[in-house]
Structures are given as structure tokens and as C-alpha cells.
Structure 1
Amino acid sequence: MVDAALIQECSDPGLKPAIVEQFIERAGSQDPLAVTIRSGNRVVLVPRPKTAEEALALIRENLGRNTVRVGITQYPAGLGVVEAGQMKADLVDACGNIRMGTALFARVYRIVTEWYGNPTERQVLPQVFDDAIIAWQTGYFEGTAVFRAEDPADVKLAQPRPVRRDGADTQAGLPGDETKPEVPTETSASDPNKAGIRIDLSGIAAKR
């Protein structure tokens, strides 16, 4: 698990640490040097980088040809980069990656929250968070390219209750609670068409 002090120090102030923990647990990695490469729907197997330099070299080698996600937050490496030489070491620095990734995820979360009409009902919030996670993994939500969409900065994000590790409060409305089956990372990240599926339709459309 990513160190709580690192999350507190480096994450975007618009997200509470509990949300950041959930985000990293479900969509990120524990390894600052983790590089995930996809070619279409296929994951490209590559050797794990042992140093930041190796990770950056791997990213540069694949940018423009494949989809590259990197670091603790699995940040989209090519975002805003015109040339591979512009890659920043922050991508593979634990604090830098958390800072960049949580700022971008906060924007994605706001876009999804706005689409839902800024809900406050506790039973709806986990679904909003689920959809924000899928949007992060696929890059799209309801046909919108979320990484390049305008930031609805005035949207207030719902904050979860504190997590109780004894399991006594697992249904307290924390984003990502277990009342809804999780979409596997591999499936959601490789198939943007699944990003729009809602709870009522999951048993019908998701299994086609």
C-alpha cells in the first residue's frame, strides 16, 4: 500500500486522502516505475524497469505507437507531450506522479460528477466513483475524452466517510464499496464501450 504520508504530502488538495487511496488501489500501482503498455486491446509484455532512466526510455520507445500508462497513478504518459524528448522525470517519481495523477483524476471525477447532476445521495456516490475510475482507465466517459475535456472547476466532489478497517462500515457509502461488482481493470481499460454501462444493465449488456 502506498504510504499515507506520501499521499497526504503529494496528492491534489481537491481530493481527500481516502479517495486517493481508493483511486490508487483500483486504478493505479504500488510501483513508481510501473509502465503498462497497450496496443489496441492487447497488453504488451515488457521487462520491468529497474531505474527511472529505464522507465523513461521504455516510455519514449512506445509513445506514439502504443497507449502508455506509468507510475503509481498509471498516468497517461503521452498527455500533452508533442515529442518523446519532452518526457519529465516526474512521471516516474512517486510524489511527482501522485501530484500529476491525482490532479488529473480530480478533473475526471468532476466531469463525471457534473454529468450525474452533482448528486449527494449516499447510495449514488459509489456509482459516480466507479464511473470516474472507468473513465480514468479508458480515457472516455459518455463519448467525452476526459483527459482533454474542459474542467468543470466549480463542481464539488463528494467526500467519503473515514474507512474503518475492521469491516464494520463497509457499506457506509464510500466510493468503491462492494455493493456493485467491480469492472476488471483489463476489461474496462481495453473496451471503451463498457464505460457507459450502468448497474441496471450490467447483467444484460456486459456479458454480450
Structure 2
Amino acid sequence: MLDAVLIQQCADPSLKPAIIEQFIAKAGSQDPLAITVRSGNRVVLVPKPTTPEEALALIRDNLGRNTVRVGITQYPAGLGIVEAGQLKPEMVESCENIRMGTALFAKVFRIVSKWYGNPTAKEVLPQIMDDAVLAWQTGYFEGVAVFREEDPGQEKITRPATADSKEPENGADSNEDAVSTATATDTVAPDPNKASIRIDLSGIGARP
């Protein structure tokens, strides 16, 4: 199991540790040097890297012609990269990979949750989680390219989320979690995704 301290120090703060653990268990790897290469639906067998340098060389050799996933979160290596020379060595470093991967998964989760109508019922949240993981693995949800889609509502966490956190009323104390609309960086997203929303993630990972 992934070190809880590593999750606390490196993961995106808008996701509860329980969500991150589920995400990595279902879609990630315990090996920070894990490289998965796919050509369409076919897994390409590649040598297992033993050093960060070997991992980066393997990514560069396959980037642009195959789909490459990297590290603990199986982050999509080609995202936002025009050429292999733009690869960051930190991508195969545990903390940075968790930081990048969980931040991107949080966006994917919000996209899926918005499609469901942003429900808070505990009975629905496991299905949202499963669909978000599938979207992470495939890159698509309901025909939407989730990695390039605009974030429907990025939460800015000002303090650690607690299990009993409640939705603030209008005019709530300034110490409550702030929510802002993400700035559009990709024109793929339709206009409805520009709306600011708040998602209660506290129910995910909770035991009945």
C-alpha cells in the first residue's frame, strides 16, 4: 500500500486520501518507474526500467507513436508535450508524479461528477469513482477527451477537508473552502462547462 505520509505531502488537497488510495489501487502502480506502453488496445512489451534515466529514455522512444503511462499514478506522459525533449525528469519521481496525477484525476472526477448532476448520495459515489477511473485509463468519458477538457469547477482548498465538512451557506465564513471557475485553456469544452460548481467529495471512500 502507498505510504500515507507520501499521499498527505504530495497529493492534490481537493481529494481525500481514501479517494487517492482507491484511484492508485485501481489505475496506478506501486512502482514509481512503472512504464506502460499501448498501441491502440494492445499493450506493447517493453523492458522494465531500473533507473529514472532508463525510464525517461523508454518514454522518449515511444512518445508520439504510442500511448505512454508513467509512474505511481500512470500519468499520461504525452499530455501537453509537443516533443520528447520537453519531458520532465520529475515525472518519474514519486512525489511529483503523485502531485501531477492526482491533480489531473481530480479534474477528471469533477467532469464525471458533473455529468451525474453532482450528486452527494453515498450510493452513487462508487459508480462515479468507477467511471472516473475508467475515464482516466481510456482518456474519454461520454465522448469527451477528459485530459483536454476544461475543468468544470476547480476547488481551492484553504484547509484540510474533514469528514463532517458541510456546504457553506451564502455569506459563509471566509475560512470555508473557496471555489473558483477554472480559466479555459482548451477550446474543446462546451460553454456549459464554464459554470462554477462545488462538489462534495466527502462521501467517497466512506464505509456504510
Q: TM-score, normalised by structure 2?
A: 0.77
Partner of 2:198: 155
Partner of 1:120: 120
3-state SS of the aligned residue for 2:43? Answer: strand
CA distance in 2, matches of 1:8, 1:160: 19
CA contact (8 A) 1:18 1:160 kept: no
Are residues 157 and 107 of structure 1, via their aligned partners in 2, closer, same or farther at CA, if it must alter by over 3 Å?
Answer: farther
* Residue 28 (structure 2) pairs with residue 28 (structure 1): yes
Partner of 2:3: 3
Are residues 120 and 99 of structure 1, via their aligned partners in 2, closer, same or farther at CA, if it must alter by over 3 Å?
Answer: same
CA distance in 1, matches of 2:63, 2:15: 29
Partner of 1:145: 145
CA distance in 2, matches of 1:78, 1:90: 14
Partner of 1:202: none
CA contact (8 A) 1:71 1:94 kept: yes
CA distance in 1, matches of 2:204, 2:145: 30
AA paired with 2:119?
P
Within 5 A, what are the aligned runs for 1:54-203? Answer: 54-153=54-153, 154-160=197-203, 169=207, 172=208
CA distance in 1, matches of 2:68, 2:198: 29
CA distance in 1, matches of 2:19, 2:49: 28
3-state SS of the aligned residue for 2:109? Answer: helix
Q: Which digits, 9 at most, give the CA deviation of each residue in 1:27-52, with x for residues without a partner?
A: 00000000000011110111110000
AA paired with 2:85?
G
CA distance in 2, matches of 1:23, 1:157: 17
| 1:162 Cα offset (Å) | 6.3
Are residues 157 and 148 of structure 1, via their aligned partners in 2, closer, same or farther at CA, if it must alter by over 3 Å?
Answer: farther
3-state SS of the aligned residue for 1:38? Answer: strand
Structure 2: gaps spanning 5 or more residues? 154-196
Q: TM-score, normalised by structure 1?
A: 0.77
CA contact (8 A) 1:110 1:155 kept: no
CA distance in 1, matches of 2:15, 2:108: 12
CA contact (8 A) 2:135 2:146 kept: yes
Partner of 1:19: 19
CA distance in 2, matches of 1:55, 1:137: 20
Structure 1: gaps spanning 5 or more residues? 164-168, 173-208
The alignment covers a number of residue pairs equal to 165
C-alpha RMSD of the superposition: 1.2
